[in-house]
């Protein structure tokens, strides 16, 4: 039985990696972003004292949160200028597309648990997010966690057309939008814990293939 459950856990990691490989073929930047967000989501979940199963779910939510961008045209993903209304609509559809990609796995409790926070990773505490405009504690906890990790990575990474902001700037932005965009309590913990996490390992930041979890061996 132990052997069987180890095999299942192993295949969960491989399914995630396979999905990420498809994303990488379409958009290497989003692939790297997802890998980094997965890594930091795991560290954040550990720091918050979540149990090991919840930590694995947090890591998978981070790794797969933007998987639906496979379905967003490259030209929109790489556009430097502001998106038009119709382009923005297509971009927002990455959430529904991500859920659709994961749907065939939803009979597996692990992936079912991963899907809901992914659906809500663009909600805001003040209810002005999407797709459902959920407010405050109606937003699933892991969705609120990912939103912070996601925003930090988006602000601080270099893109071909602009240099990433400093970490100090990103911390200030999190504070500024704490309680409106982000959960205030989670921002407070994140700001305390994040400085100790160190640099993102090269094999993650350079889009390399590595184990999803530093604990999965
Ligand atoms: Fe997203």
Q: Is this model's pTM higher than 0.75 or not?
A: yes
Indicate the pLDDT class of residue 127, thresholds 50, 70 and 90.
very high
Within-domain flag for 119: yes
* Residue 212 predicted with pLDDT over 80: no
Within-domain flag for 214: no
* Residue 4 predicted with pLDDT over 90: no
Within-domain flag for 11: yes
> What spacing in Å lies between the alpha carbon of 6 and ligand 1's midpoint?
31
> What spacing in Å lies between the alpha carbon of 51 and ligand 1's midpoint?
25
> What spacing in Å lies between the alpha carbon of 95 and ligand 1's midpoint?
7
> Which domain CATH number covers 12?
1.10.3210.10
Average pLDDT of the chain to the nearest whole number: 90
Specify the number of domains making up the chain. Answer: 1
Calculate mean pLDDT across residues 184-199: 94
Domain that holds residue 68: 2-205
Contact 61, 41 (CB under 8 A): yes
Write down the pLDDT at residue 136: 97
Q: What is the pLDDT of residues 71-111, one digit of tens each?
A: 999 899 988 889 999 999 999 999 999 999 999 999 999 99
Measure the CA–CA gap between 14 and 47, rounded to whole angstroms: 26
Within-domain flag for 212: no
Q: What helix, strand, coil percent values describe the chain, rounded to 5?
A: 65, 0, 30
Indicate the pLDDT class of residue 215, thresholds 50, 70 and 90.
very low
Within-domain flag for 12: yes
Is the Cα dihedral 176, 179, 185, 190 positive or negative? negative
Within-domain flag for 213: no
> What spacing in Å lies between the alpha carbon of 66 and ligand 1's midpoint?
5
> What spacing in Å lies between the alpha carbon of 167 and ligand 1's midpoint?
20
List 182's β-bridge partners, or say none: 178
> What spacing in Å lies between the alpha carbon of 136 and ligand 1's midpoint?
19
Percent of the chain scoring above 70 in pLDDT: 88
Is the link from the previous residue into 131 a cis peptide, with omega within 30 of 0?
yes
CA dihedral 94, 95, 100, 105 (to 10 degrees): 120
Measure the CA–CA gap between 192 and 93, rounded to whole angstroms: 34
Write down the pLDDT at residue 130: 97
Calculate mean pLDDT across residues 44-51: 97
> What spacing in Å lies between the alpha carbon of 147 and ligand 1's midpoint?
9
> What spacing in Å lies between the alpha carbon of 122 and ligand 1's midpoint?
6
Within-domain flag for 215: no
Within-domain flag for 56: yes
């Amino acid at each position: 039985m132990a052997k069987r459950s180890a095999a299942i856990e192993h295949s969960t990691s491989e399914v995630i990696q396979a999905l990420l490989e498809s994303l990488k073929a379409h958009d290497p930047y989003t692939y790297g972003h997802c890998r980094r967000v997965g890594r930091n989501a795991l560290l954040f979940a550990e720091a918050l004292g979540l149990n090991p199963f919840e930590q694995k779910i947090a890591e998978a939510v981070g790794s797969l949160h933007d998987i639906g961008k496979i379905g967003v045209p490259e030209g929109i993903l790489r556009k430097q200028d502001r998106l038009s209304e119709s382009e923005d609509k297509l971009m927002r559809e990455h959430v529904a597309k991500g859920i659709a990609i994961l749907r065939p796995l939803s009979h597996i409790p692990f992936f079912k648990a991963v899907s809901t926070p992914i659906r809500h990773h663009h909600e805001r505490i003040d209810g002005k997010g999407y797709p459902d405009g959920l407010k405050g504690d109606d937003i699933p906890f892991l969705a609120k966690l990912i939103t912070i990790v996601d925003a930090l990575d988006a602000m601080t990474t270099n893109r071909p057309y602009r240099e990433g902001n400093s970490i100090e700037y990103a911390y200030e932005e999190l504070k500024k939008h704490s309680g409106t965009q982000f959960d205030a309590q989670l921002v407070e913990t994140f700001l305390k814990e994040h400085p100790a996490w160190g640099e993102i390992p090269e094999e993650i930041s350079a889009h390399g293939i590595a184990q999803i979890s530093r604990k999965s061996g």
